[in-house]
Amino acid sequence: MENRVLYVRLPCNPIFPIGVVYLSDHIHKLFPDVEQRIFDLGAVPPLDYAKALDASVDEFQPTLLVFSWRDIQIYAPVGGRGGNPLQNAFEFYYANNPLIKMRGALGGLRLAVSYYTELWRNLGLVKRGLHRARKYRPEARAVVGGGAVSVFYEQLGRSLPRGTVVSVGEGEALLEKLIKGEDLAQERCYVVGETVPRDRLIHEKPANIEKTACNYQYIETIWPEFSYYLQDLDFYIGVQTKRGCPHNCCYCIYTVIEGKQVRINPADEVVAEIRQLYDRGIRNFWFTDAQFIPARKFIDDAVELLQKIIAAGMTDIHWAAYIRADNLTPELCDLMVKTGMNYFEIGITSGSQELVRKMRMGYNLRVVLENCRDLKAAGFNDLVSVNYSFNVMDETFETIRQTIAYHRELERIFGADKVEPAIFFIGLQPHTILEEYAFKQEILQPGYDPMSLMPWTARKLLWNPEPLGSFFGQICLEAWQRNSNDFGREVMAILEEKLGCADLEDALSAPIEIKEKQLTSVG
């Protein structure tokens, strides 16, 4: 049977659609005769989605529609597609002033409308594309996957057409089988209306496929709009250097989606991929790994890659990534600066070693500081985003004071204007240790809908439990009022005004308590 594969990246903010690029590259390497096409709704204006999808299906007449859905969850401290979701929610939940509460309620309503509209619109696009493709190819089939589907695979299946394959995690092995017409029973997927998701499906290991450099010469031929992403030179194009993360941070699902086993993409292949983009004018790269240096034993791999980038003569690039700064050495710091790392995010979550341990993050905060000093000494003079999520577990006024002490030390190292405190509240995700903790604490009941944006559920999923929930609510409201453009720094300043700052040594030491044993036994 002839296979014609159409990859539809569902609407998304303009982030390079690396997932469908890699999938189509993989399939082409295995089946060079299979006709493929990439169609990116991220590059189409919203009013034209349906029309543009129809035109693409009419023209290509696919037998397999591969829908890639990147993100659904929108809680973030920054302006999202429907406004600033965190601000709206907090104004509604915590404001004393009725006018502000009303503004929050209206903002929240607007947000909920835009959230559900997007959800239904994307589900509608899947149905529409499949229906239209069947006019030409009655045997046409749809398969859905991507970050959003991996997180919400159990819920999304309920609203998709019968026969749709719902995929969790990486799609390479699954697509291979679909093209060969083989049985899918061993893959991380289920078929709507025919099979149900296996228990703990998401915890199953991904296939061990060694990645080779993406062939962009081929990608250009199947993706007419590729040049859209080459025009804006400030854009960071995704390049993956490894998959998987061995850690267990209590709120994180990456380690389940990508698996705990770290699989390194060979450095020569990564460099060959960067080179192709470089030759097309790209200078900014985002290493899309869950963590660029997941543990100390992967330091050598990072060193090898960066050395090879220099050896390839690509000395005028910039790159960014999520970095576990506990895994740096002076040599690596030097290479990071030499190869043009100009932004990184560290997700320490709290500046209190005691809490960092309770959240099972495996970080030694003292080592992070030492490594940051090495990075500064190596000449790093750009922006660092430090992700803090207050009130995850057992937060107290003392642990808040410790976080402030820690943050001020980071500011002393890099310069206050270079360290951006990104204040997140955790959006609780299914299949995480934090979800189990919420069940045990009876904050959530098994069977809750993790995709619901109804105020009573959203209030629990936007993790900020009492007794400190209202306190943080008030702090954030004040910060937005004072200066919403510098929210993170305002939050830190207000907390310090109200609570003071601990001694750094207290932040860095974590006495073992009996109580902690109970928490770490969760999950």
Nearer to ligand B12 (CB atom), residue 307 or residue 385 = 385
Rounded Cα distance, 262 and 309, in Å: 21
**How would you list the strands of the sheet with 189-191, edge to edge?**
35-40, 4-9, 64-68, 141-145, 165-167, 189-191
Binding-site ranges for ligand SF4 (CB under 6 A): 245, 247, 249, 252, 254-255, 290-291, 324, 347
Closest to 312 measured CA to CA, from 279, 281, 345:
279
Q: Which does 255 bind (CB under 5 to 8 A by kind): ligand SF4, ligand B12, none?
A: ligand SF4
From ligand B12, ligand SF4, none, which one binds at residue 171 (CB under 5 to 8 Å depending on kind)?
ligand B12
* Nearest approach, Cβ of residue 362 and ligand B12 (Å): 17
Is 15 or 125 the residue whose CB approaches ligand B12 more closely? 15
Binding of ligand B12 by 168 (CB under 6 A): no
Q: Distance between CA atoms of 177 and 168, rounded to whole angstroms?
A: 15
258 binds, among ligand B12, ligand SF4, none (CB under 5 to 8 A by kind): ligand B12
Q: Which is nearer to ligand SF4, 63 or 327 (CB)?
A: 327
Query: In 3D, which of 174, 168, 161 has the Cα closest to residue 124?
Result: 161
Is 355 a residue that touches ligand B12 (CB under 6 A)? no
- In the complex with ligand B12, the residue whose CB is nearer, 20 or 271, is 20
Concatenated DSSP letters of 122-138: HHHHHHHHHHHHHHH-T
Q: Smallest gap, in angstroms, from Cβ of residue 175 to ligand B12?
A: 6
The one among 5, 6, 10, 12 contacting ligand B12 by CB under 6 A: 12
Is beta strand 237-239 parallel, antiparallel or unpaired with respect to 284-287? Answer: parallel
Q: Report the nearest approach of ligand SF4 to the CB of residue 246 (Å).
A: 7
Please report whether residue 282 would count as binding ligand B12 according to CB under 6 A: no
CB of 219 to ligand B12, least distance (A): 13
Does 170 participate in binding ligand B12 (rule CB under 6 A)? yes
SS (H, E, C) 203-255: HCCCCCCCCCCCCHHHHHHHCHHHHHHHHCCCCCEEECCEECCCCCCCCCCHH
Pick between residue 129 and residue 347 the one whose CB is nearest to ligand SF4.
347
Which of residues 204 and 478 has its CB atom nearest to ligand SF4 in the complex?
A: 204
- The C-alpha atoms of residue 129 and residue 126 are separated, in whole angstroms, by 5
**What's the token pair of residue 293?**
């240096």
Window of 73-81, 124-132, 213-221, 489-497 that interacts with ligand B12 by CB under 6 A: 73-81
Decide if residue 356 touches ligand B12 (CB under 6 A).
no
Give how far Cα 247 sits from Cα of 239, 250, 254, Å.
22, 9, 9
Start-to-end C-alpha separation, the chain: 47
Report the alpha-carbon distance of residue 343 to residue 385 in Å, rounded. 8
Among 71, 331, 394, 516, interactor with ligand B12 by CB under 6 A: 71
Between CA 237 and CA 231 the distance in angstroms is 12
Region near ligand B12 per CB under 6 A, out of 101-109, 286-294, 444-452, 474-482 = 286-294
Choose from ligand SF4, ligand B12, none: what does 143 bind? Cβ within 5-8 Å by kind: ligand B12
Q: Are 58 and 126 in contact (CB under 8 A)?
A: no
Going from the C-alpha of 211 to that of each of 38, 169, 219, 254, the distances in angstroms are 20, 15, 16, 19
Surface-to-core class of residue 208, CB atoms within 10 Å of its CB (0-12 exposed, 13-18 middle, 19+ buried): exposed
What residue 76 binds from ligand SF4, ligand B12, none (CB within 5 to 8 A, per partner kind)? ligand B12
Instruction: Kindly identify the residues of this chain, within the stretch 38-67, that bind ligand B12 according to CB under 6 A.
Output: 66-67
**CB–CB of 462/424 below 8 Å?**
no
Give the residue from 181, 178, 179 showing the smallest Cα distance to 189.
178
- Which stretch, 7-15, 54-62, 414-422, 495-503, contacts ligand B12 (CB under 6 A)? 7-15
Among 3, 5, 22, 38, binds ligand B12 (CB under 6 A): 22
Q: How far is the CB of 370 from ligand B12 (least distance, A)?
A: 26
Euclidean distance between CA atoms 150 and 189, whole angstroms:
10
Using CB under 6 A, pick the residue from 4, 10, 11, 16 that binds ligand B12: 16
Query: Of residues 141-160, which lie at the interface with ligand B12 (CB under 6 A)?
Result: 143-148, 150-151
Are 168 and 30 within 8 A, CB to CB? Answer: no
* Contact of residue 151 among ligand SF4, ligand B12, none (CB under 5-8 Å per partner type): ligand B12
The residue ranges that bind ligand B12 (CB under 6 A) are: 12-13, 15-16, 18-20, 22-23, 66-68, 70-74, 76, 143-148, 150-151, 167, 170-172, 174-175, 236, 238, 240, 253-254, 257-258, 286, 288, 290, 429
